[in-house]
Structure formats: structure tokens, C-alpha cells
Amino acid sequence: MEYFNVFITGGILCVIGQVLMDTTKLTAPRILVIFVVSGAILTGLGWYQPIVDFGKSGATVPLPGFGYALAKGAIEAARTGGIMGALTGGIVATAAGVAAAICFGYLIAIIFSPKSIR
Amino acid sequence: MENKKEKQKKEIKKRQAKEYENYVKQFTPKPKYFMNSLKAFFVGGLICIIAFYVQTLLMNRGYSEKDSGTFVIVFLVCSAQLLTGLGVYDTIGKFAGAGSIVPITGFANSMVAPAIEYKKEGIVLGVGAKLFSLAGPVLVCGISASVVIGFIYYMMNL
């Protein structure tokens, strides 16, 4: 049952992205930005937490989940650490993923050579 | 007499325009909204299922929910970047559309793909700079939003 919720939530988020891509002239990077920022704003309003409770990985793995992690980290750190917490919280919460993406991505980009799309 | 001729000319033009429209319609690809959405749904859902499977596996081993969640993101990012390097992710992306862009794997792909393309410009200004040509805007907007939200939250709870 949990797997079903995960599948549905993740799928619906991707369909929203696909519909945005097909019906508007938004390019992929803009869609990424829109998803992350809207995830962060929804978290700030407290509307994304219920989706995460329902969809688990289905809500945290798509990009709104990245915004969710950023905003949640900032809010929690602001609660405990005051104004400095608000400043550092978002990056601290997502540091592992971002650092891994940068470091491993750099390594991969150096190792592999360009390929034409098949 | 003149009037009649003009009318005929107009009618012919109208008919030609319509014929041309039909002719063009044969060659313009019809947007397959439904099929695209279905593909995106399945691939996106599948990526989330894999993430959830790995997370439950880790949580059964005794890791906390937070740690396992972080590990899953790292795992997804690294595997997506490896697939991008091997050239497999582009093939998936061609099939799945947004289904491969919206999950965090798409973010990872968007870092490596331009970096590999600009390898010729050097390791620092080529790879190092192009790593952020697509991921940069996402990080800038996302982190700015988080700081603003954290600041608003702090002000509200003074």
C-alpha cells in the first residue's frame, strides 16, 4: 500500500511537469526552478508536509522535495538557532545531497567523454 | 461584372488557403499529451519506488529515517550521474520526458550533461563552470527561497 502511495505521488508530480512542458513554452531549467521554489513555498505555508506524510519518497525525491528539505531545514534551524539558523538551515539540511552531486558529478564529467544522443 | 470577378477570386483564394491548411496538418506532429503524461507518470513513479525500496531496506538495518533519506538522495544523484556519463540517461530522458527531469535524478543529470559537453574548455572553466550552468539557477532560487522562508519564520516567532 505504501509503495502504491509513493508511486502515485511521484507519478502525479512528474505529470504536472510534463503537462507544463507540453502546454507552455517553459524549458526544462525553468521547470526545475519553478518546482524547487514552489516546493519551498508550499513547505513554508505548511501544505507540503501532508503530501510528504502521504507519499513518502514519492514526495521527497521529485524536485519539490528538494525545496521541501531546504525550507524545512531553514524553519527548524530558525526555531533553534535564531537568525543565523535561518541563514544556514537550508544549506545544512541539503548539504549531503548537493555536495555529493557536485563532487561525484565533477568526477564523472572528467572521466567520461561526450556522447551523441542515440 | 467587376464585382463578380473579385468575388470569385476571393473564393478561390479562400479555398486555396483551406487546402494548404489541410496539407500542412498532415506533416505537423500531433502533440501526444496523454502518452507523454503516461510515460512521465510511470518513469517518475518508478524512480520514487526505487528510492522508497532502498530507504526501507536501510531503515530495516537500523538507520534513522533522516539518515536513510539523505543516503537515498545521495544514492539517486550518484547513480543518475553515472548513467549520464555512460550516455544511458539521455535515452531514458528521450522516452520519459518530465518523468526523468522532475525527480532529483534530473537535477543530477542537468549538472553532468553540460559539464561533459564543455570538457574541451578545460577542467576549471569548462567542467567546473558548466557543472552549474543549469544547476546554478536551481540552487540560487532554492537557497534564496529557503533563507527568505527561514527569515520570515524567525520574524513571526520573535
Whole-number mean pLDDT of chain B? 88
Distance from CA of A75 to the nearest CA of B (A): 5
Cα of A1 to nearest chain B Cα, Å? 12
In this prediction, residues B40-61 reach a mean pLDDT of 92
Nearest to B99 among A18, A58, A78 (CB): A18
Nearest by Cα to B133 from B115, B120, B146: B115
Residue A80 has pLDDT above 70, yes or no: yes
Q: What is the pLDDT of residue B21?
A: 83
Q: How far apart are CA A98 and CA B23, in angstroms?
A: 51
Q: What mean pLDDT is predicted for residues A80-88?
A: 89
What's the angle, vertex CA B66, arms to CA B42 and CA B144, rounded to 5? 80
- When CB atoms are compared, the residue of B55, B128, B143 closest to A91 is B143
Per-residue pLDDT, B17: 86
Q: Does A1 touch chain B (CB under 8 A)?
A: no
A101 with B107: CB under 8 angstroms? yes
pLDDT at residue B87, rounded to an integer: 87
Phi and psi at A75, nearest 5°, equal -65, -45
Please indicate whether, in this complex, the C-beta atoms of A109 and B112 are within 8 angstroms of each other.
yes
Q: CA quadruple A13, A18, A20, A25: dihedral positive or negative? A: positive
With a cut of 50, say whether residue A49 has pLDDT above it: yes
User: What is the pTM assigned to this prediction?
Assistant: 0.83
pLDDT tens sequence across B74-84: 999 999 999 99
3-state secondary structure of A62: strand
pLDDT of residue B2: 66
Percent of chain A residues past pLDDT 90, beyond the cut = 60
pLDDT reported for residue A11: 92
| A52 CB within 8 Å of a chain B CB | no
Q: Which of A48, A61, A87, A94 to mutate to test the interface with B (most CBs of B within 10 A)?
A: A61
| Cα–Cα distance measured from residue B109 to residue B82, given in angstroms and rounded to the nearest whole number | 9
Least confident of A26-35, A94-103, B44-53: A26-35
Of B37, B97, B147, the CB nearest to A90: B147
pLDDT mean over B118-128? 86
Contacting residues of B for A35, CB less than 8 Å apart: 102
pLDDT of res. A118: 45
Structural domain spans, chain A: 2-111
Would you place residue B65 in the very low, low, confident or very high pLDDT band (cuts 50, 70, 90)? confident
Tell me which chain A residues have a C-beta less than 8 angstroms from the C-beta of B57. none
Query: Quick check: A116 pLDDT over 90?
Result: no
Which grid coordinates belong to A51? 503530501
pLDDT, mean of residues A67-72: 93
Interface predicted TM-score of the whole assembly (ipTM), two decimals: 0.88
Which neighbouring-strand residues pair with B103? A62
pLDDT at B146: 93
Query: Do B119 and A36 lie within an 8 Å CB cutoff?
Result: no
Please check whether residue A56 touches B, CB under 8 A.
yes
pLDDT in tens, B5-48: 888 888 888 888 888 888 887 777 666 788 889 999 999 999 99
Yes or no: say if B108 and B84 are a contact pair by the CB < 8 Å rule.
yes
